Structure 1
Amino acid sequence: MASVSLRGIGKRYGNGHAVIDGVNLDIAHGEFMVFVGPSGCGKSTLLRMIAGLERISAGELAIGGQRANDLAPARRDLAMVFQSYALYPHMTVFENMAFALKLAGCKGAQLEQAVQRAAHILQITELLQRRPKDLSGGQRQRVAIGRAIVRKPGVFLFDEPLSNLDASLRVQMRAELRRLHQDLGATMIYVTHDQVEAMTLGQRIAVIHAGRIAQVGTPQALYNAPANLFVAGFLGAPKMNFIAAQLVEAAPQSARVSLADGTAVMVPVDARRAQPGEQLTLGIRAEHLLPDSAGPHSIALTVNQVEYLGDQTIAYASLAGNAVPIALRQHATSVDLHTGAIIHVRPDARHCHLFDSAGDAFLHPVTIPQSNQATID
């Protein structure tokens, strides 16, 4: 195992455009870290810089406590699994998994033992004499992972390895990757654009936006205490609702805001850095809009679309004065969620968030642990 440390890491190309800009991050021994973000945000470039496949323009990279900026990829004690399986079609599974070890001079019983151990961990022992054309997509991906395992690297790098698999197989492979991490206890860095993969795999997640880290934390911390509008809107399905609001009054423990329809909402945050009358954004997730009877403190919504998902129903509704539809999730069958229905809800104050005009969150009175806060330079 090895730790990975990034200090002020940057990547610029010839035109001066910064793809990665001032990233600071510490990944501990044996940690499963996930880089997540939209396409083009720089997450794969950051991974390739760690691997040595992209030159570092600024900052310092340390692997296992050793400066690695100028180390050749082969000397970084890493193994990388790509989106493409990249298996040699003329070789058997055994030969594919053993190839890197043979190049390193390993042979005989030592080679056999290393491949058999990896095959046992991945439950592909019975496939060792097959060729890639005889394998399913999931089996090929396991072989690609096995090729990395046999090297016993200090750090595993995964670049969207499940993107080519169908939905059910991705679920199965996620479970296998979690088990693999538990069995090996290795440091793993995993890149994905899929928030479900990020939330289910990562012990911690680094949300990347426009080449910078928007926030780092556990899945629970990022979901329940997003540091900014981007993180709040990126994680969660459906994404967090954003409602235009105006600050009426702020105190150390709470802020009172007024929505466009005149509804007053108390939010348990310290918003004293904002001024009364300032335009803010109220954030509330779909499951935290609770059914309510009509009244001065309820929000009236007109249902536009309903998605029935068996154990739950997702409705998208319009709110007077708010340009973006509001999503709400209901598990109770007593609520009539049909197109055109007028329903009343109230936001659960414990789960309300408030963001300033720059998109940064006002902290709740209970301080968020430092390890879960954003690391933006």
Structure 2
Amino acid sequence: MASVSLKQIVKHYDKTAVLHGIDLDIADGELMVFVGPSGCGKSTLLRMIAGLEQISGGDLHIGGIRANDIAPAQRKLAMVFQSYALYPHMTVYENMAFALKLAGHKAAAIDEAVQRAAATLQITQLLQRKPSELSGGQRQRVAIGRAIVRTPELFLFDEPLSNLDASLRVQMRVEISRLHRELQTTMIYVTHDQVEAMTLGQRIAVFNGGRIEQVGTPHQLYNHPANLFVAGFLGTPKMNFISAEVIASSGEQLNLLLPGGAIIAVASGARSKASCGQRVTLGVRAEHLRLAPAAGHNTVEVRIGHIEYLGDQSIVYASLDGGSELIAIRAPADAAALQAGQRAYLQLPVLQCHIFDASGQALASSAQHA
């Protein structure tokens, strides 16, 4: 296995900066996920780790050795790409064995490596087939198997499931998690899909505009986002954001004035530095909101706009008077009986709210008290 250390990594093309001083340490045997929108620099960084892109500045260490100038073939890593890139004229066995043959390994050692990898990936029965005879999920397994036979110290995955349909992506996520547990090899996985990031990563690095916004476990990032970008990027539906003004602040509680004149209370959180008169953004997730039958403590009146019936639940979208933001509420399935335009009361949780300042940085996360 190999640890990976990135110190002030910079990448630019001519005068265009793509990565701006990336600092990140990845432990031996860890499954780290890079997630972010298209163009945020996550795949560029992965290719720099692989040696496929030059590093413009900073230091890359793999297994404790500075790797900036080490040739890709000498970095003891294997990469799985979005495209399967299988040789169509070769069988599955030949595709998996090809790199070992080029390296001059003996036939017996090659066969042992291929058979072992095929058994791990449950594709032994496919070894004599051609790629054209395989499904998308099977082809991706072969591409992963081709990497496994090289026994790398580091696996790099560049959006490997993007070409698969939804059900196959779920299956392959399970397979990759199982593979990591069995091989216990360091893996870096790049995706733009926040569901993949949350379900696969032991830790996640959230990228935006060539910078890392936050690094942490899925639980840390979901429940304690450092800023508006992370809060809005992770979670489906995404976190609700409501403009507000602080009208009272104590050691335990903030009172907020919402659009339409409603006043609600939230736990301030130990990190809160909010002051009276300050404009803030209130963040709250759909699963923490409740539709109430009547006005009560910490309720606001809303107008129902749209209901999505999902079978086991409904997502209700509503708006505050005087507010432009739609609020998503995860509700029981029978909420589908609500009608668009209907008035309702929304109860906001005291203990599961997040407060962000005008720059988008978290001031308080009362979820930490829950």
TM bin, normalised by shorter chain, reads over 0.9
Aligned to 1:79: 78
Give the SS at the match of 1:249: strand
- Which residue matches 2:252? 253
Structure 2 vs 1, CA of residues 97 and 84 (structure 1 numbering), >3 Å: closer, same or farther?
Answer: same
2:288 paired residue number: 288
**Kept after mapping to 1: 8 A contact 2:255/2:264:** yes
Is 1:10 the counterpart of 2:22? The answer is no
- Compared CA separation, residues 245 and 188, structure 1 to 2 (3 A): same
Letter in 2 for 1:286: A
Distance across 1 between alignment mates of 2:24 and 2:251: 31
Match of 1:356 in 2: 357
Against the structure 1 CA distance between its residues 367 and 305, is the aligned structure 2 distance closer, same or farther, given a 3 Å change threshold? closer
| Distance verdict in 2 for CA 1:130–1:349, change over 3 Å | same
Q: CA deviation at 1:366?
A: 8.7
Q: How much does 1:31 deviate?
A: 0.6
Aligned to 1:70: 69
Q: Please list, as runs of the form range in 1=range in 2, the aligned pairs for 1:179-218 lying within 5 A after superposition.
A: 179-218=178-217
Deviations 1:311-339 (A, max 9, x none): 11001111112212111011263785321
Q: Is the 8 A contact 1:252 1:365 kept in 2?
A: no
* Contact 2:357–2:363, Cα closer than 8 Å, also in 1: yes
Q: What is the TM-score when the length of structure 1 is the normalising length? A: 0.94
Alignment of 1:1-377 (within 5 A): 1-14=1-14, 16-268=15-267, 269-270=269-270, 273-292=273-292, 293-295=294-296, 297-331=298-332, 333=334, 336-364=337-365
Q: Distance in 1 between matches of 2:149 and 2:317?
A: 49
One-letter identity of the residue aligned with 1:315:
V
Q: C-alpha distance in 1, partners of 2:176/2:131?
A: 21
Distance 1:296 1:350, change over 3 A: closer
Say which SS state the counterpart of residue 349 (structure 1) adopts: coil
Q: Write the deviation string for residues 198-233 of structure 1: whole angstroms up to 9, x where unpaired.
A: 111111111100000011111111111111000000
Matched length = 367
**In the aligned structure 1, how far is the partner of 2:23 from the partner of 2:133?**
44
Please give the alpha-carbon distance, in whole angstroms, between the structure 1 residues aligned to 2:150 and 2:211: 32
CA contact (8 A) 2:298 2:349 kept: no
User: Which ranges of structure 2 fall in alignment gaps of 5 or more residues?
Assistant: none
DSSP-derived class of the 1:294 partner:
coil
Give the CA deviation at 1:260: 1.3
What is the percentage of aligned positions where both structures have the same residue?
63
Equivalent position amino acid for 2:40 in 1? C
The Cα shift of 1:364 comes to 3.9
Contact 1:250–1:270, Cα closer than 8 Å, also in 2: no
Distance 1:367 1:166, change over 3 A: closer
Q: SS at 1:46's partner residue? A: helix
Tell me how far apart the structure 2 counterparts of residues 313 and 367 of structure 1 sit (CA, whole Å). Answer: 27
Q: Helix, strand or coil for the counterpart of 1:119?
A: helix
Q: What is the alpha-carbon distance in structure 2 between the residues aligned to residue 251 and residue 340 of structure 1?
A: 37
Contact 1:8 1:59 in 2 (8 A): yes
Aligned residues of 1:227 and 1:360 also touching (Cα < 8 A): yes
Question: How far apart are 1:263 and its partner, in Å?
Answer: 1.9
Contact 1:114 1:150 in 2 (8 A): yes
**Distance in 1, Cα, partners of 2:115 & 2:313:** 45
Amino acid at match of 2:347: R
Residue 279 of structure 1, CA deviation:
0.8
CA gap 1:367/1:57 in 2 versus in 1, 3 angstroms: farther
Deviates more, 1:332-341 or 1:167-176: 332-341
Question: Could you tell me whether the CA contact under 8 Å between 2:310 and 2:333 is conserved in 1?
Answer: no
> Unaligned 5+ residue runs, structure 1?
369-377
Distance 1:42 1:271, change over 3 A: same
CA distance in 2 between partners of 1:53 and 1:281 (Å): 41
Conserved? CA contact 2:100–2:150, under 8 Å: yes
Aligned equivalents of 2:81, 2:193: Cα separation in 1: 16
CA distance in 1, matches of 2:252, 2:45: 39
2:232 and 2:130 map into 1 onto residues whose CA distance is: 44
State the Cα distance separating 1:271 from its structure 2 match: 6.6
Offset, 1:345: 1.3
